[in-house]
Amino acid sequence: MLVLFDVLGILLLFILSLFLVILLHELGHAMMVLPYTKGLVKIYIGSHGETNNSVQIKTGRLITHIKSNPLKWIRGRCIPPAMEMSINHQIMFVAAGPIISILSGLTALFIFQQTNPGIIRFELMFFGVFSVLVGITNFFPRTLSKRSISGQLITTDGYKLIQLIRLKSSPPEFATATDLFNKKMYTESSTIVQTLIEKGNKNKQVFRLAINANLQAKNLKRSDELMTIFLKKYVPNSDDYCNAGFIKSMSKNEEVALGLYKKSLALNSSNIVALNNIGHSLIELGRYPEAEQYLDAAIAESPKFCYAHSNLGLVRIHMGDLEGGLEAIQACLEIDPNFVDAHSCLGVYNMKMGRYTEAKKNFEKSIELGSDDLSNDEYLKEVEKMIGNNIK
């Protein structure tokens, strides 16, 4: 029995140390923006930005979300307010986390050496070792195997620092274009980066920004032209092929898109964006059983990937499995209650169920949240016609 209590005690110390290490790391980031901003600063303990199954603690402008499952406390994230920060300020914000981890860990190890044997000394050792390791490993530039719920790559602080340093050393026009892109001023960003290309600055990052800015600005033709040049000039990675496929898909050229997505998977079989996009293209082609397989694979790789859950719901609805479709849509909304596509899919479900008034609310909600999918407008007209015919 005593051995069991000892094991439980060590486990509790381990969990407490882990929590404190991640909390201090994220507070390190937060300290670099709280004094200079007016908006909310958000910290996540146990996730990369998810709020479900979390406890929220608000202290002034600092909001901390803590996952209720202690086994997930190995990850964290700090999100600054939506404001303009200079590149130097961004570098300090990113670097502060691992620096605080290393300094607090070394401090704990120093105190550990001066402390008599006992539970406090044991805790200091745990905390010190974990904190230093977290700080050092975060300085290594790498992308993590998982992605965020929006499909974005999750990277270490070291990876972000390298990107920021490259941005700082790039031409001022490129930094300006990147800043405009981050502010969702895509047309302005594409104009500046196009000037850089015309001046002969044609490195990979310039081309990638030009492609994405034109794509977001709905200039599909120019985005496609730039991607064609990029694929010939450089060795594409998995994400490049995925973006190329997305451009073709936006142009309703789904068969070509599928070929590019599969090239993406050949380089990275766990690319959840490519898996999801293949599913979406197959939906457009009416090949629902195949689409379901790819979407299931995307969810298996990243269970919190909203796009895959939403598309899976649509696939099941089209296949006649209405309740299975609703289950997938609800799984998406549990992850992100404001996920645009899920509300649209819920509208399709309610249409199939003959609940046109509810469907109308779903499509309106999707549009209200910022959907630019033209099919929402078409669905809305259809349900309004049905309601006008006194069909409830």
As a whole number of Å, the end-to-end CA separation of the chain is 65
Give per-residue pLDDT as tens, 358-385: 988 888 888 888 777 767 778 778 878 8
pLDDT at 128: 92
pLDDT at 224: 93
Residue with tokens 């146990």: 46
235 pLDDT above the threshold of 60: yes
Half-sphere exposure in the Cβ direction for 248 (13 Å, CA): 20
User: Poorest-confidence range of 115-119, 357-361, 387-391?
Assistant: 387-391
Q: Average pLDDT, whole number, for the chain?
A: 86
Higher pLDDT, residue 205 or 370: 205
pLDDT at 9: 60
DSSP single-letter state for residue 152: P
Residue 134: inside a domain: yes
Vertex 153: Cα angle to 266 and 376 (nearest 5): 90
pLDDT at 296: 94
145 pLDDT above the threshold of 60: no
325 pLDDT above the threshold of 50: yes
Distance CA 94, CA 83 (A): 15
3-state secondary structure of 193: helix
User: Poorest-confidence range of 6-10, 72-76, 263-267, 271-275?
Assistant: 6-10
Percent of the chain with pLDDT over 70: 92
CA-based torsion, 286, 287, 293, 297: positive or negative: negative
Residue with tokens 């004094």: 35
Distance CA 317, CA 283 (A): 11
| Burial annotation 67-89 (CB, 10 A radius, 16+ → b, else e) | beebebbeebbbbbeeeebebeb
8 A C-beta contact, residue 275 and residue 245: no
| Burial annotation 218-243 (CB, 10 A radius, 16+ → b, else e) | ebeebbbebbeebeeeeebebbbbbb
Residue 251: inside a domain: no
Amino acid at site 4: L
DSSP single-letter state for residue 336: -
Hey, what are 2's tokens?
Answer: 């005593």
Tell me the sheet residues that pair with 76: 45
Give per-residue pLDDT as tens, 149-204: 556 677 889 989 988 887 777 788 888 888 888 888 899 999 998 888 888 777 78
Give per-residue pLDDT as tens, 62-96: 999 999 888 888 889 998 887 667 778 889 999 99
User: Poorest-confidence range of 214-228, 232-246, 291-305, 355-369?
Assistant: 355-369
8 A C-beta contact, residue 211 and residue 242: no
Hey, what are 329's tokens?
Answer: 């849509």
Q: Which of 251, 301, 240, 244 is nearest to 276 (CA)?
A: 301
Domain count, the chain: 1
pLDDT at 65: 93
Range among 31-40, 124-133, 174-183 rated most confident: 124-133
pLDDT at 133: 94
Hey, what are 257's tokens?
Answer: 């898109």
pLDDT at 294: 95
Q: Which of 312, 303, 305, 309 is nearest to 282 (CA)?
A: 312
Q: Which residues contact 157 (CB under 8 A, 6 or more apart)?
A: 94, 95, 97, 98, 138, 139
Task: Please return the burial class of 7, using the count of CB atoms within 10 Å of its CB with bins 0-12, 13-18 and 19+.
Answer: exposed
Hey, what are 104's tokens?
Answer: 């607090």
392 pLDDT above the threshold of 50: no
Backbone angles phi, psi at 307, to 5 degrees: -55, -40
Residue with tokens 């380089």: 267
Helix axes 272-284, 306-318, angle to 10 degrees: 20
User: Poorest-confidence range of 5-14, 138-147, 150-159, 256-265?
Assistant: 5-14
Distance CA 293, CA 284 (A): 15
Q: What's the pTM value of the predicted model, to 2 decimals?
A: 0.70
Residue 334: inside a domain: no
Residue 278's pLDDT band, with cuts at 50, 70 and 90, is: very high
Domain encompassing residue 70: 2-160
pLDDT at 2: 45
pLDDT at 374: 63
Give per-residue pLDDT as tens, 133-142: 999 999 988 8
Distance CA 238, CA 271 (A): 8
Residue 81: inside a domain: yes
